Every structure is written in structure tokens, then in C-alpha cells.
A = this chain, B = another copy of it.
Amino acid sequence: MTEQNVKFLEDAFPSWRKLTQGQQDSLKQSAVEQKYAKGVSLHHGSEDCSGLFVVKSGQLRVYTISESGKEITLYRLFDRDICLFSASCMLKNISFDVHVEAEKDTLALLIPTPVYEGLMKNSLVLTDFTNQLLASRFSDVMWVMEQVLFTSFDRRLAAFLLEQSSIESSDTLHITHEEISRHMGSAREVVTRMLKYFQAEGMVTLSRGGIAIVDESKLKKLI
């Protein structure tokens, strides 16, 4: 592994310095750099258990999907975030499936499941860190659930557009209504209807290529 990647791992694991030399070496020697093109799937539910992805650059989307193909985005992972559920087979009592895809071209270090699982068995530090990761994702999912249950659709959509604009650092979003509906777990028609309402209210303009935010403060006020 390159020196730059070693430095990166040290940063990504906040408790790196508390690991023994042997444990640090295991992680360093087993981690493999992987490239994923935009749109590629990194993890399909319980079929896969390749390991933990530590994101170096790019963007991952973690989502769940119903039998009928309806999706909802649970959270996104950015630089230095660690994807735990791609190694969920090592976690006892996880009885749900998530899917992970690259939303942008992504570079990540993959730590194979058997290596991490083996280290956890003898490392209180790593088990405690895994606990924190799990708690963090649990909090993300609770946030989504509270949004779905307790927040009206216009507020959720406004929040989604603003979040997307912040991620893209742009007021123009190249995203289809279909894609938005998959993020939000809603029907495409409902998304289109609300976007048209936002347009009529002068908050966005819709075009074939995407959605332009024209009155950010009005969208913010909605939230």
C-alpha cells in the first residue's frame, strides 16, 4: 500500500493509534484500492459481504428496495466515510438488506470482511468503533424515517433539492424526476406534481436537462 493510503487509513479510523502495531499492519496489508465508475453497484443486500469500504473520493448511495422495486435512499457516504453494511454478514442480528451504489466515480479502500472480523474478535477498540459506526448509521436511518412519517412531502422535497444543491455545489441539478422519486421512496408522479407547484411558485425552473433552483431562500422558508 502507498504511504498516502496508509496516512489516509490513519485519518479515517479515529482510534487508529489505539490499535496494536500488529492490528495496524493487518489493516494496512489487507486493504486494497478499488475504483468504481458512476452507477456501479458495490453491494447487493445479503448476497455480498466483500468488506468495509473506506471512501477516498467520490460518493456512495446506500438504499433499500422493496419487492416491487420501490427504493429509498438511507444515507450517502463521502470522503473518509466507512461503509459498514457491505460487511454486514459479520454483524450478528442484522436482518435487513441494503444496497450500495457509486453515485459518482469513486475510489475506495476495501478491507476484506475476514480480516476486519478477525481483528474485532480481539480488539475492544475496533469493536467499540464498529459500535459507533452502527449507531451513526442508525441515527441516519431514524432521521429518514422521521422525515417520511412526520414531514409533509413539500418540505421533504425542498430539503432534498437544497441538500442535492449543496452536494453538487451548484444551483442546477442534473437529476430526473424518476431519480428523485427513488431517493425519496415516492411515486414519480407525486414528485413531478410538486416540482410543477414549486415552479409555479417561482422557486425552481424545470427543463429537460434538470432543475434549476432560482429562489433558494423561498425553498428554505418552506423547511
Residues of A at under 8 Å CB distance from B? 64, 66-68, 70, 72, 91-96, 120, 122-124, 127-128, 130-139, 141-146, 148-150, 185
Contact = CB atoms under 8 A, between A and B. Distances in A.
B94 A150 contact: no
Contact of A150 (B70, B144, B149): B70
A33 to B, nearest CB: 27
A70 B72 CA distance: 22
A134 B134 contact: yes
B127 A72 contact: no
Nearest to A144: B145
Contacts of A148: 145, 148-149
A212 B64 CA distance: 36
Contacts of A70: 149-150
A146 B93 contact: no
